Amino acid sequence: MSKEIFVTTTENLPGYDIKRMIGPVNGFLIKSTNIFSDIVASFSDIVGGYSGSYQRQIQQLYDDVLNSLKEKAKRKGANCILNLKIDFEEISGQGKQMFLLLANGTAAIIESKSNKDFHSQTISFEELENEIEKGIFIAKIDKGGVIDKTVINESIKYCDWILAERLLRIISKYDSGYFYNAYENDISESLTLCINEYRDSKEFASAVMNIVMESNNEFIKKYWEILKNTRIFNYRDMGAMFNCPDKNRMRYYLQLIDSEKDEYDGSEIEVMEDILEKVKKLNFDISIVRKKKVLSTAETEYWHCSCETDNLFSIDRCTNCGRDKYGFKEGFINHLEIVCRLENRISALKRLTSI
């Protein structure tokens, strides 16, 4: 089937039904005026008051930013961009000039009203060859070969987030040992590359959340920071994390719940408040022991760490392993701190969305 991305400046495309609105896509392109230096210096190609070279350069900028938008829409699973708007600006200052192109539109999936018979669609030779290569590639990874950066790059080449999700699921099921030790750098880079490539897809974000929930503990321990830094998770998918009975795993989940996002909207406030209430209900017990000092009847309170070290109650972190009183390792944010951070975010969002 054709992978053509339709583009229109209107809200719909004649002859097509909008099957699903996916969301906004945007892009920008900045070019220095040095790309036009030869044009400014020479007017030999000006005919009728217009510069042919200048027009070709401007057209190239439009084509580049439009192709960028099409690629983003394709990665989200769309086949159309509606409400396309492209703005062109010239920025001057401090003796320099830059050309800025801003483009935005709405990615959508459309379906032809008149032709829904897939048997009548034309498939090019290149598309068929690409699909054959993709099938061979899928068969290769399903046999359990080494999943490294090269393999991830291949999946991205086929512009298929479902294939990328399949690879991540395989990685998350590997046991600890030789695989992680031998290919840890490749896997870390591959995870970051793969997630960033498809992070705009809500379907892929939800799939990654499911992978995290089903993965082994080794996967979570090694790659929680990458998962957090890619900012792929949304609050609507996080509720399932609170069904986890494993307190140690829950400590890792809380780090993901603290993930920041590139942008927020007012509709998320209610979901964030629900997450906040769930975090408040979490209970990480402190194991308290009381000891008498030598030649004294007075008792001193200590808290007992999972590493079997007793620490004075006035000390927040274990002197041996660095965990805090609630069992959160060094560098982790505990549940009480996350409550505070969520409350601050919710309050700020309410102020901003009420303006």
Q: Tell whether 53 is covered by a domain.
A: yes
Residue closest to 87 by CA, chosen among 72, 74, 104, 102: 102
Local structure of 20: helix, strand or coil: strand
Give the confidence band of 77 by pLDDT, cuts at 50, 70, 90.
Answer: confident
Per-residue pLDDT for 198 more than 90?
no
Give mean pLDDT, residues 171-190: 56
Q: Which of 204, 232, 260 is the last residue of a domain?
A: 232
Q: Tell whether 37 is covered by a domain.
A: yes
Same domain membership, residue 106 and residue 60: yes
pLDDT tens-digit readout, 208-235: 787 788 777 777 777 788 778 777 777 8
Q: Tell whether 215 is covered by a domain.
A: yes
Per-residue pLDDT for 164 more than 80?
no
Q: Tell whether 289 is covered by a domain.
A: no
Same domain membership, residue 82 and residue 55: yes
Contacting residues for 5 by C-beta, under 8 A, at least 6 apart? 70, 73, 74, 78, 79, 80, 81
Q: Tell whether 166 is covered by a domain.
A: yes
Indicate which CATH number applies to the domain containing 83.
3.30.110.70
| Distance in angstroms (rounded) separating the CA atoms of residues 108 and 73 | 8
93 and 62 in contact (C-beta within 8 Å)?
no
* Beta carbons within 10 angstroms of residue 242's beta carbon: 16
Same domain membership, residue 226 and residue 173: yes
pLDDT tens-digit readout, 269-288: 999 999 999 999 999 989 99
Q: Which of 174, 202, 232 is the last residue of a domain?
A: 232
Same domain membership, residue 226 and residue 128: yes
Specify the pLDDT at position 121: 54
Which of residues 229 and 318 earns the better pLDDT score?
Answer: 318
Q: Residue 198 belongs to what domain range?
A: 123-232
Specify the pLDDT at position 103: 87
Q: What angle do CA 173, 180, 248 make, to 5 degrees?
A: 65
Q: Tell whether 334 is covered by a domain.
A: no
Give mean pLDDT, residues 250-268: 84
Instruction: Please state, rounded to an integer, the average pLDDT across all residues of the chain.
Output: 76
Q: Which of 232, 254, 275 is the last residue of a domain?
A: 232
Residue closest to 335 by CA, chosen among 286, 283, 288, 287: 283
Same domain membership, residue 94 and residue 13: yes
C-alpha distance from residue 75 to each of 5, 198, 231 (Å): 11, 6, 17
Q: What are phi and psi of 243, to 5 degrees?
A: -85, 0
Domain count, the chain: 2
DSSP 339: H
Residue closest to 1 by CA, chosen among 131, 121, 113: 121
| Distance in angstroms (rounded) separating the CA atoms of residues 236 and 247 | 22
Per-residue pLDDT for 11 more than 60?
yes
Beta strands in the chain (DSSP E): 6-7, 16-32, 46-47, 50-51, 80-93, 96-112, 288-292, 299-304, 310-312
Residue 343: burial class (beta carbons within 10 Å; 0-12, 13-18, 19+): middle
| Distance in angstroms (rounded) separating the CA atoms of residues 204 and 32 | 36
